[in-house]
Chains A and B, each alone.
Chain A
Amino acid sequence: MPWRLLKYGLKSSHNEPRFFPEAKPLKSHYDVVIIGGGGHGMACAYYLAKEHGITNVAVLEQGYIGGGNTGRNTTIVRSNYLTPEGVKFYDTSLNLFEDLADDFDLNIFYSTRGHFTLAHTDSAMRTMRWRAEVNKHHGIESEVVDRDFIAKEVPYMDLDCAGTHPVMGALYHAPGAVARHDAVAWGYARGAYNRGVEIHQKTRVTSIRTQGDKVTGVETDRGFISCNKVVSMVAGSTPRITSMLGLETPIEIFPLQACVSEPVKPFMDTIVVSGSLHVYVSQSSRGEMVMGASVDPSVLHSTRSSFNFVEGLTDQMIDLFPFMSRMKVMRQWAGMSDITPDFAPIMGKTPIDGFYLDAGWGTWGFKATPVSGKTMAWTLANDRNHELIEPFRLSRFTDFELVGEKGAASVGH
Chain B
Amino acid sequence: MTSRLDPQPLEWLDRSETLSFEFEGLAFTGFAGDSISSALLASNQTLLGRSFKYHRPRGAVTLANHDVNALFQSSEEPNIRGDVTPLAAGMSLTACNVNGSLEKDKDQIIGKLSRFLPVGFYYKSFHKPKKLFPMWERVIREKAGLGTIDTRWDARRKAKTYGFCDLLVVGAGASGMQAALTAAEQGLDVVLADENPHIGGSLDYQLANDDSAAPIRTALKQKVQSHANIRVLPGHLACGWYTDHYVPLLGPEGIVKMRARAVISATGVMEQPAVFRNNDLPGVMMASGAQRLVARYAVKPGQRAVVLTANSEGYRAALDMLAAGVEVAAVVDMGKADSRGRWADELKSKNVSVLEGHAVYEAKGKDKLKQVVVAPFDGSACNLKLAREIDADLLLMSVGWAPAAQLLYQAGSRLAYDSTLEQILPQELPSGIFACGRLNGAFTLDQRLADGERAGTEAAAFLKDQPLPAEQTDCRDTEAHSHPWPIVDHPKGKNFVDYDEDLQLKDLVNAAKEGFDNIELMKRFSTVGMGPSQGKHANMNGIRVLAAVTGRTIDQTGSTTARPMFHPVPVQALAGRRFRAERLTAMHQWHLDNGAQMMEAGAWLRPEFYGRQEERAQAILREVQAVRTGLGLIDVSTLGKIEVMGPDAGKLLDGAYTMRMSNIKQDMTRYALMVDESGVIVDDGIAARVAEDRFYVSATTSHADATFRTLSRHIVEWGLDVRLVNRTGTLAAMNLAGPHARKLLAPLTDIDLSEENFPYLGFKEGNLCGVPVRLIRVGFVGELGYEIHLPIESAQLVWNTLMNKGAEYGIRPFGVEAQRVLRLEKGHIIVGQDTDGLTNPFEANMPWAVPLKSKPWFTGKPSLALLKERCQRTLRGFMLPKGYSGELPKECHLLIDSGDIAGRITSIAYSPSLGRYIGLAMVDQPLAGSDRMYQVRVDSGALVPLEPCAIPFYDAEGERQTIDLTEVA
Which residues does A use to contact B, with CB under 8 Å?
1-2, 4-6, 8-9, 14, 16-22, 63-67, 71, 84, 101-102, 105-112, 120-123, 126-127, 129-130, 133-134, 137, 155-156, 162-165, 180, 182-183, 186, 201-202, 261-267, 285-287, 304-307, 310-311, 314-315, 317-319, 321-333, 341-343, 399-400, 402, 404, 406-407
Contacts and interface: CB of A to CB of B under 8 A. Distances in A.
B134 interface: yes
Given A134-B894, A400-B870, A262 B154 contact: no
B863 A400 contact: yes
B590 interface: no
B148 A318 contact: no
B564 interface: yes
A136 to B, nearest CB: 9
A318 B116 contact: no
A111 B901 contact: no
A164 B565 CA distance: 30
15 contacts: A2-B136, A5-B121, A66-B521, A126-B892, A162-B155, A201-B518, A286-B145, A287-B141, A305-B242, A307-B242, A318-B572, A319-B155, A326-B570, A332-B563, A333-B561
Contacts of A107: 122-127, 133
Contact of B144 (A156, A285, A328, A329): A285
Contacts of A156: 151-152
A322 B892 contact: no
Nearest to B520: A64
Interface string B738-763: 00000000000000000000000000
Contacts of A112: 134
Contact of B127 (A8, A101, A322, A324): A101
B866 A400 contact: yes
B862 to A, nearest CB: 10
A90 B517 CA distance: 33
Contacts of A21: 515
A264 B149 contact: yes
In the complex, the 6 A-B pairs of residues with the closest C-beta atoms, listed nearest first: A287-B145, A9-B116, A156-B151, A328-B568, A322-B155, A323-B153
Contact of B524 (A126, A165, A182, A262): A182
Contacts of A287: 141, 144-146
A164 B569 contact: no
A84 B580 CA distance: 37
B483 to A, nearest CB: 26
A299 to B, nearest CB: 14
A2 B113 CA distance: 13
Given A102-B130, A329-B569, A402-B838, A65 B521 contact: yes
A117 to B, nearest CB: 14
A329 B137 contact: no
B941 to A, nearest CB: 9
B153 A285 contact: no
B78 A307 contact: no
Nearest to B136: A2
Contact of B122 (A109, A120, A321): A109
A106 B148 CA distance: 30
B904 A130 contact: yes
Interface of B: 76-79, 97, 113, 115-118, 121-128, 130, 133-134, 136-138, 140-142, 144-157, 160, 239-240, 242-243, 246, 248, 257, 410, 506, 510, 513-518, 520-521, 524-525, 532, 534, 561, 563-565, 568-572, 574-576, 578, 580, 582, 599-600, 678-679, 832-833, 836-838, 863, 866-867, 870, 890-894, 896, 901, 904, 937
A109 B149 CA distance: 24
A101 B130 contact: yes
Contacts of B838: 342, 402, 404
A285 B133 CA distance: 12
A127 B890 CA distance: 12
A46 to B, nearest CB: 16
B890 A265 contact: no
Q: Which of B141, B569, B571, B892 has the most A CB atoms < 10 Å from its CB? A: B571
Contacts of B125: 2, 4-5, 107
B145 A263 contact: yes
A326 B156 contact: yes
A189 to B, nearest CB: 9
B837 A407 contact: yes
A153 to B, nearest CB: 13
A126 B127 contact: no
A372 B654 CA distance: 44
B893 A133 contact: yes
B850 to A, nearest CB: 15
B510 A14 contact: yes
A153 B513 CA distance: 44
B134 A305 contact: no
A19 B678 CA distance: 46
B901 A266 contact: no
Given A322-B155, A329-B565, 6 more contacts: A5-B125, A64-B518, A264-B78, A265-B145, A327-B79, A328-B568
B155 A318 contact: yes
A22 B901 CA distance: 52
Nearest to B906: A126
Nearest to A61: B518
Contacts of A16: 118, 510, 513-514
A326 B73 CA distance: 12
Contacts of B574: 310-311, 314-315, 329
Contacts of B116: 1, 5-6, 8-9
Contacts of B246: 307
B243 to A, nearest CB: 6
B510 A267 contact: no
Contacts of A18: 513-515
Nearest to B140: A285
A123 B145 contact: no
A400 B532 contact: no
A183 B78 contact: no
B120 to A, nearest CB: 9
Contacts of A263: 144-146, 532
A333 B563 contact: yes
Nearest to A321: B151
B460 to A, nearest CB: 27
Nearest to B937: A133
B124 A326 contact: no
A123 B146 contact: no
Contacts of B867: 400
A400 B868 CA distance: 11
Contacts of A63: 520
Contact of B571 (A67, A106, A306, A326): A326
Q: Which of B145, B248, B891, B937 has the most A CB atoms < 10 Å from its CB? A: B145
B142 A265 contact: yes
Given A133-B937, A314-B571, A326-B570, A14 B146 contact: no
Nearest to B580: A164
Contacts of A182: 524-525
B246 to A, nearest CB: 6
B122 A306 contact: no
A89 to B, nearest CB: 16
A106 B123 CA distance: 6
B258 to A, nearest CB: 11
Contacts of A311: 160, 574-576
Given A5-B116, A102-B130, A265-B146, A323 B152 contact: yes
Contacts of B563: 305, 331-333
Contact of A328 (B128, B570, B578): B570
B564 to A, nearest CB: 6
Nearest to B68: A262
A110 B122 CA distance: 12
Contacts of B156: 325-326
Nearest to B509: A14
A407 B894 contact: no
B153 A341 contact: no
Nearest to B678: A341
B141 A266 contact: yes
